[in-house]
Structure 1
Amino acid sequence: RLWSAKREDGETRVTADVTEPPRFAFIGVRACELNAIAIQDRVFLGGPFADPHYQARREDAFFVAVNCGQAGGTCFCASMKTGPKAEAGFDLALTEMLEDGESRFLVEVGSDEGHDVLAALPREPATAADEATATGIVARTTASMGRSMPEGNIRELLLENLEHPRWDDVAERCLTCGNCTMVCPTCFCTSVEDTSDLTGTETSRERRWDSCFTMDFSYIHGGSVRSSGKARYRQWMTHKLATWFDQFGTSGCVGCGRCVTWCPVGIDITEEVRAIQGGD
């Protein structure tokens, strides 16, 4: 809830609703997710106006990252330079090392808070061999990515091909279900909904998660701006990989591959870029 209002004795009182959330600890965060959180920080905290609801949840959050020891079949973080090793944004980062059926963890400290937590745990100093093993694990993961984003200036490629026939091809397959936006760690689209009581003296506005794949998302007086599946997919992909640079100075994709994994018809964002790049 963003705010509530109440009319009493001829006066209307509006109250902003920013509650103090509980502290959060995120365990097992991957490098791609840390990069996604950094993007969300730029979106909600980096401009002249910070979002107080996001800010309240973001402050004092504790992150325990895990460097990936195995790449998934839809991962392409290496080509996006967002993984598989966590480089920043964590309090503690773990690399699991399996030896003789036993699991050990190499721990990297990323903050004072992380140092305090580690100080309270049983531990022993890492050896040069431990560090070499951890480095080798990450290197093997990097080499085993299931996919890769094509090289080149993807922003210019997409913006110069807004009428490419590939958009029609993907529209024939896309169900506009919104799965990709629900699992993408950088998607942040929302809508607002106003409700009032039966007497008309109390009302409130709530923000809810939304998707650019819904018909109502781009609705203005007279109809939807993006009424076709082609237009909505093109909007999502070009925003993620092109105009995001104009808004926030970075790509909106971190290579997690979840949009590929959860697409019920198997649309692959890297394949779509490669098809447009190749002129198919």
Structure 2
Amino acid sequence: MASRRIADEPAYVLHRHDWSESSLILEVFTRHHGRVVLAAKGVKRPTSSFRPILLPLQPLAIAFGGEGDVRALKAAEWAGGHVMPTGEALLSGYYLNELLMRLLARDDPHPGVFDVYAAVVRLLAGADADTLQWALRAFELLLLRELGLLPTLHIQTLSLQPLIPHARYTLLPEAGLQQVSDSEPHALAGAHWLTLQQALDQAVPLVALLQDCSSVLAQLQRPLRQLLNYHCGVETLRTRQMMLDLQSL
């Protein structure tokens, strides 16, 4: 890894944990360098200017450098733009962070994912419950597509046959998009999958999904959850289980 200094890099903190009494290790998602691990020395001291800045779900501009798997944070500034989400929106933001931590390889840039993530995070603080769920489903779709884990939604995955608008199809982790019986509770009509594909093909797919596919996105929670859990290698994501536990209370 080159030791050159990277400056003015758009970034978000995904996770942080203690390194020593005064320092932190940060998992950071950057626009041009992907997910990187940074050592933030001395940031827990009361006099550190970084202390109130290095928070999750806040847009940052950072500088870092060094060699190896863990590099050194050199500078960080808050990029402004929105307040910290609270309540369900905060948990939803942590859910997005967990997805990125599990699915993105380190030092693998995905500027498109970064831009979608930034847009969704901006929505979190002011979104109502419905918009929040639509935004999460749209992010999941776009993340899976960017990583090559989402099959094309206008044909059946195994047979390559075009979808029949009135027939029903479901998204299976190991078989992709497959036709099922009309009684399958979590299947969508072929017309709905075609609408999703059309939105994904737009120049700004996040906007197209939220504007044109909100009613369809609301039906995607279970199939997308199964697909994400499969590729993450878990039965339930930790933040997802936390949300379920809080709802049960």
Shorter-chain TM-score range = under 0.3
**Higher Cα Rg: structure 1 or 2?**
1
Q: TM-score, normalised by structure 2?
A: 0.27
Q: TM-score, normalised by structure 1?
A: 0.25
